[in-house]
Amino acid sequence: MLQYKTVVMDYAPKAATMAANIEQSANDMAGQGWRLTTMSITNSAKAILVFERDA
């Protein structure tokens, strides 16, 4: 059975900053056993990251 976790990241005005924040979050979560499954950017420039791991 898989577990899922969703993380919403705040607006970052520059793409490079947003990319660095996403990378940092993905690396932090990987250290806890989570894998980044998918992500989306909203119209308000927030990122929604979905992680999964085996239960």
| Per-residue pLDDT tens over the stretch 9-24 | 999 989 999 999 999 9
Share of the chain above pLDDT 70, in %: 100
Q: Starting from the edge strand earliest in sequence, which strands make up the sheet with 35-41, in order?
A: 2-9, 47-54, 35-41
What pLDDT tens digit does each residue of the chain (55 aa) get? 999 999 999 999 899 999 999 999 999 999 999 999 999 999 998 999 999 999 9
Q: Which two tokens stand for residue 9?
A: 């990241």
Q: Which two tokens stand for residue 28?
A: 């932090």
3-state DSSP helix/strand/coil percent for the chain, to nearest 5?
A: 30, 40, 30
Q: What is the pTM of this model?
A: 0.90
